[in-house]
Amino acid sequence: MRKYIPILFFFFCLALSAQQTDYVDFKNGDVEIEIYPISKYIKGCVTYTFDITRDTDSIDIDAKDMTLITVLLNQAKVNHHYDDKRIKISQLFKESKNNELVICYKTLPKKAMYFVGWDNDAPNQVWTQGQGKYTSNWLPSINDMNDKIEFDLTITIDKDYEVIANGKLINEQIKESTTAWHYDMQNPMSSYLVAIVIGKYNKKVETSKSGISLEMYYYPEDSNKVEPTYRYTKEIFDYMEDEIGFPYPWQNYKQVPVHDFMYSGMENTGTTIFADTFVIDSTAFVDRNFVTVNAHEMAHQWFGNLVTETSGTHHWLQEGFATYYALLAERKLFGDTHYYWKLYESANQLYQQDLSGHGTSLLNPNSSSLTFYERGAWVLHALRDKVGDRAFRKAVVSYLRKHQFKNVETNDFIKEVEQSSEQDLRDFVKFWIENKSFPYDKALESLKQSVFIQEYLMVDCEALNSRCDYYLDSTISDQAKSKIISQVPDRITPDVFRNSLKVRQAIAESLTEIPLKLKKDYESLLKDKSYKTIETALYNLWLNFPEESSKYLNQTKDIIGFNDYNVRLLWLVLHLNTFEYQTDKKQEIYSELVNYTNPQFNVEVRIKAFQYLEMLKLCNENCQKNLKQATSHHNWRMSKFAREMLEKI
């Protein structure tokens, strides 16, 4: 008997390690759901078509906390076991094609589908966020991202609302009080990329150079913000197709802002959902715009959606690629200086991460976002430097063509680069990908190809002494001038104010003690087209010249600022602390500040308002009520902040 144990053990291990995708291939998912947002309830049916590729004794569908109404296999009721996490159908499945599984259900989703505004004054919306293994909270589906399915969605809801989802809208069935929206997909995707947004929207439509419809959604009241919000969208899309060299793989491309999204954006297949705090005016564009997030999520349509990681070990193949191609798009728009500056910033962040002892291999599934995103982008920059543009681009096209609508590992990409470049990349992989530490010295050496970076690194006022004054009046980069200003703010003269918005912003931030001789020049910063500069300058002027605080408050009383209301909230606080200013309006001003803690405002506004009220020790009953409500907010930043502040007060 002993000699057979290793063989039995081998087959036992094989059974344990087998994934459902080894013997079941789900092809199509036809989804029909009705959504009742006031009760946060949905009911629906999904019909899956699947092939059995190898005999098996069971199949599983992930489904969290649902009430199952019907489970049919090939049009007949089938015995199944459900443990509130997974539907398991146990019977002998023979190799076969075009089997059909129907699951009808109802549920109150705890995750992945969020009902915003229906019980408060925030915009009435429903939206999904399925990244990870969350779609199965509202749709019986496959958590394993290695099984790609072509989904078609029919969503029924109150006819007053717009429904946006993956794919092409092919029909709207309008009834007395509801509308059923039918969206068709043509190609398969992982279940975590299924997306739905419901709300009140208008849209702007452009067409890419290749004929793809680009749909840019916005709230009806934000029509004057459409251009600055979506600025360069078509240019970025056209550039991506040209640079990547592989056609956009989906029917259309939609971008939809939502209230209190958990992240900056999410690259659902053909339908990016993003935080409505990126809906901006032209002044905000200077400091906080949608361009980077726009390009990043767009790049994911190829890297992440078309080709998808097999597991978290290879997560950089999604985030590193998206970060890199977004950076290339920004280089096209804003030039080499911008490109090298962002690489320099990320190299320093990675270096600091290593110094703190948190550096990891790029293949560690528990790595930080900084590692996956920025180090991943650095790998591609360094690899392109090593093998050249032609070999790199050829490898990318071959990689996408060979693995389209499939899942990939790091070696799948490296193999393509080795073939196109005829180079052995084992040492490169060990040095750039597998090492725990980011190769900072090698990165800096690469950056020094840029004259701009050489110039920036040269600026050291301790070593250069009086020559720094000369450089402030020269044609060196804004970044280098800002570095000088931060090192020697006492050398700022009126002439230095005659620089770009970014250099003037550096003056505002560095010159916290304002000499009387620079007062007039510094006051001019309040008129800059930069909400960040105005916020900083207002506070510093108020602090330095209290006798003129009323003048500064009058100048800025109508400015809101970014979508976090940065200028307005500071203005309210300064108003309350300027006792001689509008004494009859203090209660009104205080009430406005407290009002910004209400759920109708986005997370960023609320957190800032809470912080100011805590600082002033003025968080009243209404403020505390809103704070308690925020502890159960779906946005983790809001709930974490609220819990911590409640503990303090």
Tokens encoding 596:
């910004």
Whole-number pLDDT of residue 539: 98
Give CA 484 to chain center in angstroms. 33
Q: Which of 410, 428, 452 is the last residue of a domain?
A: 452
231/364 same-domain check: no
416/282 same-domain check: no
Q: Which of 144, 174, 209 is the last residue of a domain?
A: 144
Q: What are phi and psi of 517, to 5 degrees?
A: -70, -20
Residue corresponding to tokens 């004794």: 57
Whole-number pLDDT of residue 468: 82
254/337 same-domain check: no
Whole-number pLDDT of residue 18: 64
Q: Compute the distance between CA of residue 138 and CA of residue 141 in angstroms, rounded to an integer.
A: 9
Query: Parallel, antiparallel, or unpaired for β 168-174 and 125-128?
Result: unpaired
287/315 same-domain check: no
Range of the domain at 368: 307-452
325/285 same-domain check: no
Within 10 A of 525 (CB to CB), how many other CB atoms are there?
Answer: 22
Burial class (CB in 10 A: 0-12, 13-18, 19+), 386: middle
pLDDT tens by residue, 412-464: 999 999 999 999 999 999 999 999 999 999 999 999 999 999 999 998 887 77
> Considering its fold, how many domains does the chain have in total?
3
Q: Which of 295, 319, 341 is the last residue of a domain?
A: 295
* Structural contact between residues 85 and 63, judged by C-beta atoms closer than 8 angstroms: yes
323/406 same-domain check: yes
Average pLDDT (304-308) is: 98
Average pLDDT (124-140) is: 94
In sequence order, the 6+-apart residues with CB closer than 8 A to the CB of 478 are 499, 500, 502, 503
Closest by CA position to 393, among listed 288, 246, 547: 246
379/433 same-domain check: yes
Got the DSSP string for 329-383? HHHHHH-HHHHHHHHHHHHHHHHHHHHTT----TT-TT--HHIIIIIHHHHHHHH
Residue 286: pLDDT over 90: yes
Specify the 3-state DSSP secondary structure of 382: helix
Residue 551: pLDDT over 90: yes
% of the chain residues with pLDDT over 90: 92
Specify the 3-state DSSP secondary structure of 506: helix
pLDDT tens by residue, 232-245: 999 999 999 999 99
Measured in Å, how far apart are the chain's first and last C-alpha atoms? 70
Closest by CA position to 70, among listed 93, 47, 36: 47
Query: Parallel, antiparallel, or unpaired for β 406-408 and 307-309?
Result: parallel
Whole-number pLDDT of residue 520: 97
Residue 558's pLDDT band (boundaries 50, 70, 90)? very high
In a domain, 281, yes or no: yes
Kindly report the CATH number assigned to the domain that includes residue 440: 1.10.390.10
In a domain, 499, yes or no: no
Whole-number pLDDT of residue 471: 81
* Structural contact between residues 543 and 515, judged by C-beta atoms closer than 8 angstroms: no
Residue 369: pLDDT over 60: yes
Residue corresponding to tokens 């087959």: 11
Please write down the long-range contacts of 471-479, taking CB distance under 8 Å and 24 or more positions apart. 472/496, 477/337, 477/452, 478/502, 478/503, 479/337, 479/341, 479/452
In a domain, 545, yes or no: no
Q: Compute the distance between CA of residue 172 and CA of residue 157 in angstroms, rounded to an integer.
A: 11
| 307 compared with 467, residue with greater pLDDT | 307
322/398 same-domain check: yes
In a domain, 24, yes or no: yes
215 bridge partner residues? 205, 254
Kindly report the CATH number assigned to the domain that includes residue 88: 2.60.40.1730
In a domain, 223, yes or no: yes
80/15 same-domain check: yes
Average pLDDT (642-647) is: 95
Round the CA-based radius of gyration of the chain to a whole number and report it: 28
Whole-number pLDDT of residue 200: 97
275/313 same-domain check: no
In sequence order, the 6+-apart residues with CB closer than 8 A to the CB of 219 are 123, 199, 200, 201, 202, 257, 276, 279
